[in-house]
Amino acid sequence: MKPTSPAGKRTGTYLRLCGAAAAALLLATGTAPAASAAPAPRPSVREAYVSLRGADAPGPAAEDRIRVLKAGSPRARQVLVLEPGQFAAAGSLAPVARQLAARLPDTEVWAVDRREQNLADLDGFRLPPDRAAEHYLGGHYRSRSPQSAPYVGEWGLAVELADLRRVVLAARDGGRRQVVLGGHSWGGTIALAYAGWDFDGRPGHRDLSGLLLIDAGVHDAFAGEGITYRLTAEQADARRARIEGGEVFDEALNMGRTETYAILMQLAGGYATAAPDRPSELAAHLPAWLRPPAGTGVTNAGLVEWLYATHPMVPDISVNPDFTPPAALARALAAPEPALYQWYWPSRLTLDLEAADAFADTDVARRLGLRLRHTREIDVPLYSFQTGLTHGTVNASARWLVGQSRITSATYAENEAMTHLDPLFASPGRNAFVDTAVPFLAGLGRR
């Protein structure tokens, strides 16, 4: 069916994929496009992990760097720039970037590692798992405290978007290539903020040919999960005062140290990849509420399955084995660089993204210095994919965005059986996001 609007000017495509295999892709005509079929095996795509100069920002000049994982041909006419979600780094997007690039030879996919990842000490993950565990669990790595990096308290949305603009302009290559900007979860929120941002008088959406949201959005996109943001000026001021007082890192995943969770997950992936059938020694190092019960004899591979499939910590951090084999997730977790997790997430970025959820130039947004002045002017095609995490509010928020902007073409896709992480790690031929994003991206390339 097609979405409607009071103005009657908007067109859209609605794609719904149902069942564990996500085999039934129906358009309004009732026919399934070729893109929904399971793809044939593809050759590996070209990859490069490169460093770009970031914007000038508080802190040492050496940390004014962002890195990008590039998948696909550098001669492609279109670049899809993807932002990872909260606490996630470019490695979380690597598997899906490869899938998209393999099926879209004229699209190169760039996964962004934000400047925060400069703070992580990842060198030890190049060691075999046992030695890596000794290195990290023994505390032989560089840990960053709020006292050692107080400037992170100023790394909010303005800094993130200034960095992202460097990436987008590099991808545009002087206007010789068109850029689609997107992201997963809060990475999609960052992408939308870019589109509505004022860059010294130039709206961000003018740099773009499309927007792509992977279980992401604004304006109560996560309400179906029970998450809404109603930030008042008083709350924003109080939280900014705490950040200025030293609470520079978001501690939502803190397990003794800010970075401990990310380290444990990367070690779990390394063990499961190198010795999947060996009894897990790492399980004993997990917090008691997270580890498998004593005596279960869990293997290294079984630990990853326990953490992400059978007993996930929260629904956001889980996979459905019908789509994502735990072994595939383990390989992504194990990558030394780019890593799957970001060690340090700025509290100021959390604050700013909560304020940006209204997606308007509100009093709170202005109070925080957010330049969301062009949200109603966005006029590029939109793609939105939702999983079962939010029970429909992701695509509802995308429709809201279409209704309050100048977007005239929108594609909405969903698979309620998929988890929040499945679009990033699901196997080729079982990834409903890839199957529906490919025709959207291919269509933009023909514009």
The model's pLDDT over 164-189, given as tens digits with 9 standing for 90+, comes to 999 999 999 999 999 999 999 999 99
Residues 421, 127, 120, CA angle at the centre, nearest 5°?
Answer: 55
Q: Is the CB of residue 111 less than 8 Å from the CB of residue 338?
A: yes
Q: Is the CB of residue 210 less than 8 Å from the CB of residue 382?
A: yes
- Whole-number pLDDT of residue 14: 55
pLDDT of residue 4 exceeding 90, the answer is no
Residue corresponding to tokens 């009657």: 8
What does residue 299 show for φ and ψ, rounded to 5 degrees?
Answer: -90, 175
Task: Write the DSSP assignment of 37-75 as a string of letters.
Answer: SPPPP-PPPPEEEEEEE----SS-GGG-EEEEEEES-TT
- Whole-number pLDDT of residue 12: 60
- Whole-number pLDDT of residue 446: 65
Q: How confident is the model at residue 31 (pLDDT cuts 50, 70, 90)?
A: very low
Q: Which domains does the chain have, with CATH numbers?
A: 11-117+144-252+351-445 (3.40.50.1820)
The model's pLDDT over 424-441, given as tens digits with 9 standing for 90+, comes to 999 999 999 999 999 999
Q: Is 130 exposed, middle or buried (0-12, 13-18, 19+ CB in 10 A)?
A: middle
- Whole-number pLDDT of residue 32: 31
Question: Tokens for 94?
Answer: 């690597």
| Beta bridge partners of residue 109, listed in sequence order | 71, 80
What percentage of the chain carries pLDDT values higher than 70? Answer: 90
The model's pLDDT over 45-76, given as tens digits with 9 standing for 90+, comes to 999 999 999 999 999 999 999 999 999 999 99
pLDDT of residue 275 exceeding 80, the answer is yes
Average pLDDT, the chain: 91
- Whole-number pLDDT of residue 15: 60
The model's pLDDT over 192-226, given as tens digits with 9 standing for 90+, comes to 999 999 999 999 999 999 999 999 999 999 999 99
The model's pLDDT over 226-247, given as tens digits with 9 standing for 90+, comes to 999 999 999 999 999 999 999 9
What percentage of the chain carries pLDDT values higher than 90? Answer: 88
pLDDT of residue 38 exceeding 70, the answer is no
The pTM of the full predicted model, rounded to 2 decimals, is 0.92
pLDDT of residue 298 exceeding 70, the answer is yes
Q: Is the CB of residue 45 less than 8 Å from the CB of residue 32?
A: no
